[in-house]
Amino acid sequence: MAQQPLLKVEDLVVEFDSTSGPVRAVDGVSFEVHEEEVFCIVGESGSGKSVTMLAVMGLLPENARIAGGSITFRGRDMASLTVSELNAIRGRDVAMVFQDPMTSLNPVRRVGWQIDEMLRIHRKDLSRTQRADRVHELLRSVGVADVEEKARAFPHQWSGGMRQRAMIAMAMAHSPALLVADEPTTALDVTVQAEIMKVLAEVRRENRTSMILITHDLGLVAQVADRIVVMYSGRVAEQGDVFDIFDRPSHPYTAGLLASVLGESSKADRAYAIPGNPPSPQNRPPGCAFSARCALAQGRDMCTGSVPVPVQLATGHSAACHFAHEATASNSALLAVSDGSVR
C-alpha cells in the first residue's frame, strides 16, 4: 500500500450537456486502485459508475466532458495526454471488457481479425504468422477450443458467452496492468456468468492484472472484491475493503443495498427494498443525495442543508454521511433484522 497507486481518481466531475444546461453525472468522485487488486464500483443504474470509467478511458460520448478533478494512471495525468499518447496506453496498459458482447464486436469482421487488431496496433514488430499464433494462444487462454476455425468465424456465429471470452482474450493481448470490466456478465445467461467470472479470475492471476469491476451484483462483489466503492447519484457513498462494506456498512444506502440482497435469501419475508427511487442527476436534491430515502435523515436540517464529506472510520474505510457513526449502529440492526450473513 505504500507504493504509488496504479490509478488515482481525484474529485472527478463529469458533465453532460442537456437542453436545460450541463448535468453532473459524476460529482466529485475519488478513489485509488492498487496493483493486482480487484476493485469494485457498485451502484444502481444511473449512479455514474460506468461514466466514471468511460472518463478514465477517454471514452466519454461527445456530449460529455470532464469538468473537474484529475485522473492519474501510473503517475501520468490522463486528461492532459494527446490522443496518440492516450492510444498508446489504451489497449496496451489499460484494457476494457464491455457489458454487451453482442454489440461490442464489429459484426462484419472476423473474430480473429478483431483480436489481431490489438496486435496490429501495439505490436508492429510481429509478423503476420507470429500474430496469428498469438491470437490462437489468446483464444486458448480463455477456454476456446478449435481456435483456428473459431478465429475465422464472424461474431454472429459465436454464442454470447463465447463472444465475451473473445472480448477478454482481446483485452488480455498485452497483459495490461489494469482491466476495466463494465458489467461483464450482466448481458449473459446466469449459467454462463460464473464461467466468465472464472475466466476473468484466471487471466487476471496469470497476467498479474488489476481489475476494476463495475457491477450492481453484490453477490458477485462479495466473491471477488478486495476493495469496494459504493456510488449513489454520481457521488461516492462509501468505500472500504470487502469486510468494511459487508460487515460494517456505515452509510445508510450501503446498508439498504445489502439488506435488499440479504432479504432475497431469507425465506420468511419479502425482499427488503429501499423506499423511493434514486434521483436523476438533474433532480439531485440539495445536501445529501440520499436524504429523501434515508431513515436516518428524517427531518434533520444537516442532511438537506449540506453535501456530506467522507468521514474516515478506519484506514481505507470512509462513508459520506453526516451521521456515519450513528449509521454504523443502526445498519447492524437493519442487517440483523433481514437475517443472515453475507459471506
Partner 1 sequence: MATYLARRIAQAIATVLAVLTISFFLVRLSGSPGALLLGDNATPDDIAELNSVLGFDQPVAVQFATYLREALGGSLGDSYRQARPAFDVVLERLPATLELALFSFVIGIGLAFVAALVIQLSGARWAQAIVVGLGAARQAVPDFLFAVVLVLLFAVTLGMFPSFGRGGPESMVLPIATLATAQFALYFRLFTASFAEQESQDYVRTAVAKGQSRTRIVLDHMLPNAILPTLTVAGLNLASLLGGTVIIEMVFTWPGMGQVLMNAVSTRDFPVIQAGLVVVALIFVTVNLLVDLLYAALDPRVRLA
Give the binding site for partner 1 (CB under 8 A). Answer: 57-59, 61, 83-84, 86-92, 95-96, 98, 100, 103-109, 117-118, 121-122, 154, 156, 167, 170
Nearer to partner 1, 134 or 300 (CB): 134
Q: Shortest approach of partner 1 to residue 83 CB, angstroms?
A: 8
Of the pair 112, 279, the CB lying nearest partner 1 is at: 112
The nearest distance, CB 62 to partner 1, in angstroms, is 9
Instruction: Please identify, using beta-carbon distances, which residue of 121 and 292 lies nearer to partner 1.
Output: 121
Dihedral sign of CA atoms 222, 330, 229, 277 in order = positive
54 half-sphere exposure, CB direction, 13 A CA radius: 21
Residues of the chain by 3-state class (helix, strand, coil), percent to 5: 40, 20, 35
Nearer to partner 1, 62 or 146 (CB): 62
Distance CA 186, CA 181 (A): 11
**Shortest distance, position 114 Cβ to partner 1, whole Å:** 8
Least distance between partner 1 and beta carbon 92 (Å)? 6
Q: Give me the phi and psi of 279, to 5 degrees please.
A: -75, 145
Query: Between residues 34 and 174, which has the closer beta carbon with respect to partner 1?
Result: 174
CB of 188 to partner 1, least distance (A): 15
Q: What is the phi/psi pair of residue 341, to 5°?
A: -120, 150
Phi and psi of 180, rounded to 5°?
Answer: -105, 115
Q: How far is the CB of 146 from partner 1 (least distance, A)?
A: 18
Nearest CB to partner 1, comparing residues 213 and 262: 213
Residues near 80 by beta carbon (within 8 Å), at least 6 away in sequence:
none
- What does the block give as the cell for 179? 482491466
Q: State in angstroms the smallest separation of the CB of 54 from partner 1.
A: 8
CB of 17 to partner 1, least distance (A): 15
Task: Classify residue 187 by its DSSP letter.
Answer: T
Count the alpha carbons within 13 Å of 216 in the hemisphere toward its beta carbon. 14
Q: Quick one: 156 or 198, whose CB is closer to partner 1? A: 156
| Contact between 297 and 303 (Cβ < 8 Å) | yes
Q: Which residues contact 172 (CB under 8 A, 6 or more apart)?
A: 95, 138, 141, 142, 179, 203, 207, 209
Nearer to partner 1, 156 or 208 (CB): 156
In sequence order, what are the residues at sequence separation of 6 or more whose Cβ sits closer than 8 angstroms to the Cβ of residue 61? Answer: 54
109 phi, psi to nearest 5 deg: -115, 145
